[in-house]
Each structure stands twice: as structure tokens, then as C-alpha cells.
């Protein structure tokens, strides 16, 4: 129940950020999505047995499932590498790289176009 709630919060935040404007917010959303995915992996092993998977012999009745943990571990590192890559993408190119230089349709709320302005507000 608690694990499901944590995943729900993470997924909701991730989806909101991923659909927002600006590459950095999308990257933040991606990081949250990675967290959520890792928790889902661990949830797949079950949350009732929580003993550390170190030592020998281990009691399968109380020890956590080690396989999802191994998946989660590599997933964390890969998500990290992709996060770095996405963050670097946010700071290369610059405003000239903006392929959609259309003005913000909301007058008065215009900000100077940032380099991570990879998108414009789509006109309705």
C-alpha cells in the first residue's frame, strides 16, 4: 500500500513535469520516472519480506528478492547516465537552435527565450 502510494506520487509528478515546458523540467520528470520504475521493480519482488540479501544461508521466508534489486541497481546507473546526457542537451546549441521562434501567445508573460526552450506554447 505504502509502496504503491510512493510510486503513484512519483509517476504523477513525473508525468506532469514531462509534459511541461523546457527541457530541464522534462529531465526532472525523467528522473522521477526512473525512481518510480525502480520502486515498481522492487515491488515486483514483494514488499512483505525485507531482509537484506547479504549473507549465507538466507531464509527465503524473510529475505527480500535479490533479482529485482539487481535490476534496480543497474537501472539506477543507466538512468543516471541518460540524465547526464539529457542535461547536456539542455545547454548546447543555444537560442539560435530554437527551431520554433514563435512568440508566446500569452502577452505580458513572455520571458527571454532560454536555451532550453525546446518548445513553444502551441496555439490552440
Partner 1 sequence: MTLPFLLGAAALLAALAPLLGRVLGREAGWPLAAGLAGLGVWLLVAVPPDGRSVRVDWLPSLGVSFALRLDGLGQLFAILVLVIGGAVLAYSCRYFDRGPHADFYGLMTLFSVGMLGLVLADDVVVMLVMWEVTTICSFFLISRSGPKGQASAARTLLVTVGGGLALLAAVVVMIAATGTSQLSAILASPLWGSDPAFATTVGLLIAVAAFTKSAQFPFHGWLPDSMVAATPISAYLHAAAMVKAGIYLLMRFSPALGETLAWNVTLVVVGLLTAVMGALFALQRSDLKELLAYSTVSQLGLLVATIGLGTREALSAAVVHTVAHALFKGALFMLIGVVDHQAGTREVDQLSGLRRSMPFTTAGVVLACLSMAGVPPLLGFISKEKILAAMWDAPGPGWVGPTAALVAVAASVLTLAYTGRILLGAFFGPTLDPAVREGSPAFLAPVLVLAAAGLVLGPGADLIEPTVTAAADAAAALPVGETALYLWPGFVPELYLSAASIVLGLLAIRSRHRVDALLDRPLFPGTAVGALLALRAGAIALGGRVGDLTRADTVRRHLAPPVLAVVALGVLGLVALVPGVDLAAATAASRASDVALVVLIGVGVLGVVVVRSRLAAVAVLGVVGFTMSLWFLALGAADAALTQLLVEVLTVAVAVLVLRRLPRRFHPQRRARTIAAACAALGAGAAAFVGVLALTGRPGISPVGAWYLERAEPETGGTNVVNTILVDFRALDTFGELVVLGTAGLAVLVVLEVRRLVASRRPRLAVPALSPSRFAWDNAVYARVTARALVPLMLLLSLFFLVRGHDEPGGGFNAALTGTAAFVLRALAASSDREGRSRLPAVAMVAGGLLVCVVSGLAGFADGAFLRPLSSGISVLGVSLTSALAFDVGVYLVVMGAVVAALDRLGPLGSSPPDEDEDEPGTGSRRDEVGAAAGGDGR
Residues 78-97 that bind partner 1 (CB under 8 A): 78, 80-85, 87-94, 97
Least spacing, CB of residue 116 vs partner 1, in Å: 6
**CA atoms of 11 and 39, how far apart (whole Å):** 11
If you search the block for the grid coordinates 502510494, which residue do you land on? 5
Contact code string over 4-43 relative to partner 1, x by CB under 8 A? xxxxxxxxxxxxxxxxxxxxxxx-x--xx--xx-xxx-xx
Least spacing, CB of residue 27 vs partner 1, in Å: 8
Nearest in space to 78 (alpha carbons), one of 41, 43, 116: 41
Residues 55-74 that bind partner 1 (CB under 8 A): 55-58, 60-61, 63-70, 72-74
Amino acid at each position: 500500500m505504502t509502496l504503491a502510494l510512493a510510486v503513484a506520487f512519483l509517476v504523477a509528478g513525473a508525468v506532469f513535469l514531462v509534459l511541461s515546458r523546457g527541457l530541464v523540467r522534462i529531465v526532472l520528470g525523467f528522473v522521477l520516472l526512473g525512481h518510480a520504475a525502480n520502486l515498481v521493480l522492487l515491488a515486483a519482488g514483494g514488499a512483505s519480506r525485507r531482509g537484506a540479501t547479504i549473507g549465507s544461508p538466507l531464509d527465503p521466508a524473510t529475505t527480500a528478492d535479490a533479482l529485482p534489486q539487481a535490476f534496480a541497481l543497474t537501472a539506477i546507473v543507466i538512468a543516471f547516465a541518460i540524465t547526464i546526457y539529457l542535461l547536456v542537451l539542455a545547454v548546447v546549441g543555444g537560442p539560435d537552435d530554437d527551431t520554433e521562434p514563435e512568440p508566446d501567445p500569452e502577452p505580458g508573460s513572455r520571458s527571454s527565450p532560454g536555451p532550453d526552450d525546446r518548445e513553444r506554447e502551441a496555439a490552440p
